[in-house]
Amino acid sequence: MEFLTIPHPAPTPVAKRDEALKNPGFGTLFSDHMVTIDYDEAKGGWHSASVGPREALSLDPSAAVLHYAQEIFEGLKAYKQIDGGVALFRPEANARRFNASADRLAMPHLPEELFLESIRRLVAADRDWFPSVEGGSLYLRPFMIATEAFLGVRPAKQYKFIVIASPAGSYFKGGAKAVSIWISDYTRAAPGGTGAAKCGGNYAASLVPTGQAFAMGHDQVLFLDAVERKWVEELGGMNLFFVFDDGRVVTPKLTGTILPGITRDSLITLLREEGLEVEEGMYSIDQWREDAASGKLVECMACGTAAVVTAVGTVAGPDGEFTIGAGGIGQTTARIREKLVGIQKGAVADTHGWVMKLD
């Protein structure tokens, strides 16, 4: 598919951009451009791809996304390499997961190569937007919304795919540290629902419990399963790993109610390469509390594209609070984070073909 390049009439002045990039935060600063591609069933599918200025969208008040929440998205990063180049980390996995989410939300597939080409073109257009802070990256947000104007419960026939970019620093305020989490009474997803899809509705359901966690001084919220309310599933935006003193590592298995994280999948591979036994299984909150108290559980880490890998230091809930290990960043967590970030930035050999260089 040919991409139309639309000139930007007023790009951000260089001095203003460079000043903003000194402290980008996460998710509040955006680059100059965006990619858009339209879909119309009556016109044979995807058409009108363009790279142009980042600008407001014009939607009919009856657009299906506003009433029936047909919306999916992805999150990935472009990284500056130690040799000065730019690369993506496992973008093909994001493309596959995007289409898996589309299946669940009754939306059309976007060809994987078109997904990847959209990412490549936006990074090329906004290459100067990489932040100057330590650990900075260009966070990329591809998403699809239903734009057909109608009221009625059926899949839409018109969609828009968009990619925007956000210069990113540390996900958590204060940088890398062991985080504190709150056990929520709310649930994130139920069997047969949309828990495995990366759709806005899953995150909307987490806003109240996340707000409660923040109000009590915690960094993240923990969700248990919706049926028995005892099995650990995931945090508000991250998967979990539990490291034991006998060399075992457990991560909650994918039951359809947990997002299949790409960072999660990468860590399973890297941990096994280090000789650790990684089990995808069920782990209860009571067992977590007991193993932390006995010392069998020596580390807990959370992972995701935005936060990469971070240690979980304390867990709190209505029944009290407990600490994992010494409450800080453990050796396995630190080591595996360093290795993953090293691969992403070209400092550690990529033996899996995960890194896609853009130069």
Domain boundaries, the chain: 3-168, 179-345
User: What pTM, to 2 d.p., does this model score?
Assistant: 0.95
Nearest Cα to 220, choosing from 265, 156, 172, 262? 172
What's the distance, Cα to Cα, between the start and end of the chain in Å? Answer: 21
Give the pLDDT score at 172.
64
Give the pLDDT score at 170.
76
CATH pick for 3-168 out of 2.60.40.420, 3.30.540.10, 3.40.50.720, 3.30.470.10: 3.30.470.10
**How do residues 4-55 score in pLDDT, each as one tens digit?**
999 999 999 999 999 999 999 999 999 999 999 999 999 999 999 999 999 9
- In sequence order, the 6+-apart residues with CB closer than 8 A to the CB of 296 are 244, 245, 246
**How do residues 42-101 score in pLDDT, each as one tens digit?**
999 999 999 999 999 999 999 999 999 999 999 999 999 999 999 999 999 999 999 999
Architecture of domain 179-345: Alpha-Beta Barrel (3.20)
Distance CA 359, CA 357 (A): 6
Distance CA 201, CA 217 (A): 25
DSSP 10-71: SPPPHHHHHHHTTS-TTTS---SEEEEEEEEGGGTEEEEEEEEE-------TTBHHHHH--E
**How do residues 196-221 score in pLDDT, each as one tens digit?**
999 999 999 999 999 999 999 999 99
Q: Does 179-345 match 3-168 at the fold level?
A: no
Question: For all residues of the chain together, what is the average pLDDT?
Answer: 95
Nearest Cα to 242, choosing from 184, 303, 319, 308? 303
The answer, yes or no, to whether residue 312 has pLDDT greater than 70, is: yes
